[in-house]
Structure 1
Amino acid sequence: MDTKITEKIIGAAIEVHKTLGPGLLESAYQECLFFELKNLGLKVKKEVSLPIIYKDIKLDHGYRIDLLVEDKIVLELKTVEAFTDVHSAQILTYMKLGNYPLGLLINFHTKLLKNGLKRFINTI
């Protein structure tokens, strides 16, 4: 079932990219993708706070997930020239901290969106 959800997410991201093109701020793509995913009937949350537990301390203002779909797929949106190892580490950290099974790193600053997609699976 996650494959079908992932396909819907990618299709929605392609629609947003096709309509807007590259060159906008990440926040514009986030709002439009949020809109598209909601229209597909998916449960979507934006700017999901992800606290960090360090020893006995809970830090509530740790990180924020760009979009969380169906409470299990992390979407991290970027508008960068190219992905770096830091981008991969960031989404993997979010997935591990929240115990989410899947993640998609989406870079809207590409000519073809398919070249700006990277899928992650949480193996821990």
Structure 2
Amino acid sequence: MDDYPLLNVFWTMCWFFLWIMWFFLLFRIVTDIFRDHELSGWGKAGWLAFCILLPFLGVLVYVIARGTGMTRRDVRQAEESEAAFQEYVRKAAGTSGGGGGAAELARLAELKEKGALTDAEYERAKAKLLA
């Protein structure tokens, strides 16, 4: 342990941390390149080649040139995921009509009062809804 002073251990840990962070950023950029639907296939290939052939410069230029777009794409994907989840919850809960069974019964009663449904139709629809 005397051959490797504490300050050298600290610097090694710092460089290792920066190396891991650079890989994390590189993977985020590659993911963003493929997620961007507005970028053409040649554009994706160009950015990918740039980031692979000149990794440090490619990552730095990509973040400078397209960094704000990365944020917008992240937000859009999060909103789409949230909307899909909310729609799934509504379908699973059976409230996609906007109020569930109680609202449907009230609508049937209103149609019966207006004369749009006969007593027999109302009873059949009510039995089907409550089943």
Write 1 or 2 for the structure with the bigger share of strand: 1
* More helix per residue: 2
Higher Cα Rg, which structure: 2
Same fold, judged at TM 0.5 (above): no
Q: TM-score by structure 2 length?
A: 0.22
Which structure has the higher relative contact order (CA within 8 Å, separation 6+)? 1
